Amino acid sequence: MLKFEHVSKVYKGGKRAVNDLNLEIEKGEFICFIGPSGCGKTTTMKMINRLIEPTEGSIFINGKNIMERDPVQLRREIGYVIQQIGLFPHMTIQENISLVLKLLKWPEAKRRERARELLKLVDLTPDYLEKYPHELSGGQQQRIGVLRALAADQPLILMDEPFGALDPITRDSLQEEFKKLQRKLDKTIVFVTHDMDEAIKLADRIVIMRDGQIVQCDTPDDILRNPANEFVEEFIGKDRLVQARPNIQTVEQIMNPKPVTITPEHSLSEAIQLMKQCRVDSLLVVDEKKVLTGFIDVEMIDQKRKKANLVKDIVETEIFTVEKDTLVRDTVRKILKRGMKYVPVVDHNHHLVGIVTRASLVDIVYDSIWGEVETDEISKIG
């Protein structure tokens, strides 16, 4: 849907910011541009909506050369999200979200309706519509910034380090939310970032740039497994290369397949006994079909044992899980970042199939430091 053909940009003063760039992006693809500061990411992106005009070469959207289009019209068909968020402080959230629609001369009532509808996508209540940007947190503001870019149902969205100004935890949750949103809405996204973790997490393909040129353009997995050259390797960083070792790829391969479980009808004293027997401090609760329903731990039993008898009375159903074919590197990051002790592993139907504990992580790190062969030898010794 988007195609760069021999595109170059030379700024006044002779700086060649982008140099003979060729790239084709499919509809629905999530593309991340990454590279050192000044390598031309922003320039490349802004040429797509003609905020910057290419010096040489052409850019095509759906086969049409953008230089033959009216720039204002073109921009209204492309969503645009910037790092500084750029919500208008004098407009309500509703007005901010639906501003493009106003430019497109939608009637007031339809604009309201659309803003309301969009707000649901990011789990904000309708009372936010009448608030002003300064009344929102940074993360909420950027959610609105994203909605604004979706308002006219633009098929293509450009984002220049949209989460760069947010704190790491907010950034993490926005990334996840956004990735889900993108899958659901099937947008083509061009996303500029500095952050390799972000790129790996979000992108279908990563474009690594240096000095105005593409060094490598591949899926995150291919880049991690086969970096094109030393520059890419350096850029990815050693620790990520280690995590990407092909033999420890999905969670299923590293999980403990026999988590300690209990069904909801058991009594709490049985639960405590089971914990003692297996030397664990929490139990995963599954029904007779092995579907994960929640967990209990020793503190919960201690607090509630006077009032409750059965496991089902105290089970906590808010539980974070991963699917068995999730990549290990994503799980590792989550466990470490959220400080979790373990993560249950489920299949697509939410059947419990295993558990990843901090102990499993130790194995991975151990493997990556000493390699598997020696691990085997050590276990023989042990």
Partner 1 sequence: MDTVVEFFSNYGSEMLYKTWEHLYISVIAALLGIVFAVPLGIILTRIPKVAGFVMGVLGVIQTFPSFAILAFFIPLLGVGKTPAIIALFFYSVLPILRNTYTGVNGVQKSLLEAGRGMGMTGWERIRYVEVPLAIPVIMAGIRLSVVYLIGWATLASFIGGGGLGDYIFSGLNLYQPEFIIAGAVPVTVLALLTDLLLGKVENWVTPKGMKKMRQAA
Three-state DSSP class for residue 41: helix
Of 130 and 325, nearer to partner 1 (C-beta) is: 130
In single-letter form, the type of residue at position 106 comes to W
Helices (H), 151-250: 168-185, 196-202, 220-225, 230-236, 238-243
# residues contacting Mg ion (CB under 5 A): 1
Residue nearest to ligand ATP according to CB distances in the complex: 42
Of 49 and 331, nearer to partner 1 (C-beta) is: 49
268 contact partners, CB below 8 Å, separation of at least 6: 301, 305, 308, 309, 310, 311, 314
CA distances, 334 to each of 75, 322, 340 (Å): 37, 10, 8
227 near ligand ATP (CB under 6 A): no
Of 47 and 322, nearer to ligand ATP (C-beta) is: 47
φ and ψ at 231, to 5 degrees? -55, -45
User: What's the closest the beta carbon of residue 177 comes to Mg ion, in angstroms?
Assistant: 23
CA dihedral for 312, 317, 323, 327, sign (positive or negative): negative
Write out the H or E segment, with its range, that includes residue 93: helix 93-97
By CB under 6 A, the residues from 22 to 51 that bind ligand ATP are: 37-43
Contact of residue 116 among Mg ion, partner 1, ligand ATP, none (CB under 5-8 Å per partner type) = none
Of 87 and 224, nearer to partner 1 (C-beta) is: 87
- Cα–Cα–Cα angle for 193, 199, 204, nearest 5°? 125
136 near ligand ATP (CB under 6 A): no
Contact of residue 40 among Mg ion, partner 1, ligand ATP, none (CB under 5-8 Å per partner type) = ligand ATP
Of 79 and 212, nearer to partner 1 (C-beta) is: 79
In single-letter form, the type of residue at position 347 comes to D
8 near ligand ATP (CB under 6 A): no
8 near Mg ion (CB under 5 A): no
Could you tell me which stretch among 12-20, 288-296, 310-318, 319-327 binds ligand ATP (CB under 6 A)? 12-20
Task: Identify the burial level of 221 via C-beta atoms within 10 angstroms of its C-beta, where 0-12 means exposed, 13-18 middle and 19 or more buried.
Answer: middle
43 near Mg ion (CB under 5 A): no
Q: Between helices 328-338 and 358-370, what is the axis angle to 10°? A: 120
Site map 23..42 versus Mg ion, x via CB under 5 A: -------------------x
Catalog residues that contact partner 1 under the rule CB under 8 A: 49, 51, 72-77, 80, 82, 84-92, 99-100, 102-103, 132-135, 148-149, 158
Residues found near ligand ATP in the complex (CB under 6 A)? 11, 13, 15, 17, 37-43, 194
